[in-house]
């Protein structure tokens, strides 16, 4: 008999009563109920294999310091950024205002014209007006005088020649910021005037390092700016980076950096990115604050900071040159990051910085996304600036 019939069997039909044979009929005996079958007990499920307990992340030995999450295993590729237009395309688009400012003047100046003294003088003025600065402009014009003086040139020929001369100035400074893997952590002190994009640059760098599988911690050292602290908190959560935040606004930045470096060394963190104040209106106070911060972290690691990154806003033009001069007096700047090229007609200032200071230009930014901050390439920048 099928199992279904055992569980869903209809009850037996009632037996009809027989007609009475005697005056007092006897009640008919009911049919005995059919006992329901007892189902066999289901077999007990096999016990799940025992799992080893998950290892908890190491606890920070210092309060207010959140250690970074474990980086992605090596060999697991990070999600590719949106490269639909390509980096060079985004760079050219970001430099479009600077390009228009420079090339329009060149085009109007050279319409199959002989490159004589008057033309070279006008070219020098054009380059200075485009924020390349006097030293760079003089160098480029001197090169033109040696190689093309007295010849008839077109605007297109001049633009290509300018791209070559600009690339020659930029090539020696187009150097990446190398993270020393032997240091745990490699300490990067990020300096610059408020509003140049220091905090955003730190966040983007953190994203890059996390994508490379490195552990990273942010230090919200601009303790008087609540917005800067909150921004790093958001990016730390988004990227899995660690965070050292002040317990209250205006807390001692040097003490915070000391605690963060102590915790990072104990945890073996790869990179420590320290944000700093940038109130340049009080130069002496800012200088003392930066010097104190460096002095304090050297108590933990005498070789720190290992990189001092100065962040400059391209929209400020020649003010970026002045800022570089001032911060170089305060700290030992090791490299530059030039941001906001997408909103500036003064991208030529990168050439002025390279010619005057010779500091490595590690990276440039042309947008808000992490993928819009990229290592500096001299040839790509020169071509983008001249629109060739």
Q: Tell me the C-alpha distance between 100 and 103, whole Å.
A: 5
Burial class (CB in 10 A: 0-12, 13-18, 19+), 19: exposed
* Residue 92, pLDDT score: 67
- What DSSP state is assigned to residue 339? E
pLDDT for position 344: 67
The closest of 354, 377, 379 to 366, measured between CA atoms, is: 377
Helix axis angle for 226-239 and 198-211, nearest 10°, is 10
For the chain, helix (H) and strand (E) counts, in that order, are 13, 11
Which residues neighbour 213 within 8 Å (Cβ) at sequence distance 6 or greater?
71, 72, 73, 74, 76
Q: Which of 359, 367, 313 is nearest to 338 (CA)?
A: 313
First CA to last CA distance, the chain: 88
Residue 241, φ and ψ in degrees, nearest 5: -75, 155
Neighbouring residues of 334: CB distance < 8 A, sequence distance ≥ 6: 307, 308, 309, 359, 360
- What pLDDT score does 103 carry? 74
| 3-class state of residue 333 by DSSP | coil
The answer to whether the beta carbons of residues 143 and 181 sit under 8 Å apart is no
CA–CA distance, 204 with 190 (Å, rounded to integer): 13
Q: What is the pLDDT of residue 336?
A: 98
Contact predicate 173/361, CB 8 Å: yes
Distance CA 133, CA 354 (A): 10
Please list, in sequence order, all residues whose beta carbon lies within 8 angstroms of the beta carbon of residue 248, skipping any fewer than 6 positions away.
none
User: Is the separation of the CB atoms in 95 and 163 below 8 Å?
Assistant: no
How far is residue 179's CA from residue 271's CA, in Å, rounded to a whole number? 8
Contact 315, 344 (CB under 8 A): yes
Q: Are 169 and 355 in contact (CB under 8 A)?
A: yes
pTM of the predicted structure, to 2 decimals = 0.78
Q: In angstroms, rounded to a whole number, what is the distance separating the alpha carbons of residues 165 and 141?
A: 9
Give the pLDDT of residue 217.
Answer: 97
Return the DSSP state at 32.
P
Query: Where does 23-148 show beta strands of DSSP type E?
Result: 65-66, 113-114
Q: Looking at residue 387, what is its pLDDT? A: 86
Q: What is the pLDDT along the chain (388 residues), one digit of tens a residue?
A: 443 443 334 444 444 444 444 444 444 444 444 444 444 454 554 444 444 333 334 455 555 677 676 554 444 444 444 444 565 566 667 666 777 777 777 777 777 678 889 889 999 999 999 899 999 999 999 999 998 888 888 888 889 999 999 999 999 999 999 999 999 999 999 999 998 999 999 999 999 999 999 999 999 999 988 888 999 999 899 989 999 999 998 899 999 999 999 999 999 999 999 999 988 777 888 899 999 999 999 999 999 999 999 999 999 999 999 999 999 999 999 999 999 988 667 889 999 999 999 999 999 998 888 888 999 999 999 998 888 8
Q: Please give the pLDDT value at position 23.
A: 46
């Amino acid at each position: 008999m099928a199992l279904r019939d055992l569980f869903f069997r209809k009850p037996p039909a009632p037996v009809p009563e027989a007609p009475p044979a005697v005056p007092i009929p006897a009640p008919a005996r009911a049919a005995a109920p059919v006992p329901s079958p007892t189902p066999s007990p289901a077999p007990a499920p096999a016990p799940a294999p025992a799992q080893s307990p998950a290892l908890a992340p190491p606890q920070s030995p210092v309060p207010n310091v959140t250690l970074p999450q474990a980086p992605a295993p090596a060999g697991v590729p990070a999600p590719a950024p949106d490269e639909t237009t390509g980096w060079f395309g985004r760079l050219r688009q970001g430099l479009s205002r600077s390009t228009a400012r420079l090339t329009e003047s060149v085009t109007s100046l050279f319409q199959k014209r002989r490159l004589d003294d008057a033309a070279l003088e006008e070219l020098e003025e054009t380059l200075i007006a485009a924020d390349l600065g006097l030293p760079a402009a003089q160098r480029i014009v001197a090169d033109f005088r040696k190689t093309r003086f007295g010849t008839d040139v077109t605007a297109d020929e001049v633009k290509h020649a300018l791209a070559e001369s600009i690339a020659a100035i930029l090539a020696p400074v187009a150097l990446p910021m190398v993270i020393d893997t032997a240091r745990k952590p490699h300490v990067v002190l990020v300096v610059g005037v408020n509003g140049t994009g220091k905090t955003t640059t730190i966040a983007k760098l953190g994203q890059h390092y996390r994508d490379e599988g490195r552990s990273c911690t942010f230090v919200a050292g601009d303790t008087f700016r609540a917005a800067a602290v909150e921004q790093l908190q958001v990016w730390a959560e988004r990227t899995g980076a660690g965070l050292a935040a002040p317990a209250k606004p205006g807390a001692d930045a040097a003490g915070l950096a000391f605690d963060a470096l102590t915790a990072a060394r104990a945890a073996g963190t790869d990179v420590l990115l320290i944000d700093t104040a940038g109130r340049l209106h009080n130069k002496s106070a800012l200088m003392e604050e930066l010097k104190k911060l460096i002095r304090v972290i050297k108590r933990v690691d005498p070789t720190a900071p290992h990189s001092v990154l100065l962040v400059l806003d391209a929209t400020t033009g020649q003010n970026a040159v002045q800022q570089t001069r001032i911060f170089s007096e305060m700290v030992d700047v090791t490299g530059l990051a030039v941001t906001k090229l997408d909103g500036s007609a003064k991208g030529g200032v990168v050439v002025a910085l390279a010619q005057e200071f010779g500091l490595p230009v590690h990276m440039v930014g042309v947008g808000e996304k992490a993928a819009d901050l990229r290592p500096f390439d001299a040839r790509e920048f020169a071509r983008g600036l001249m629109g060739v």
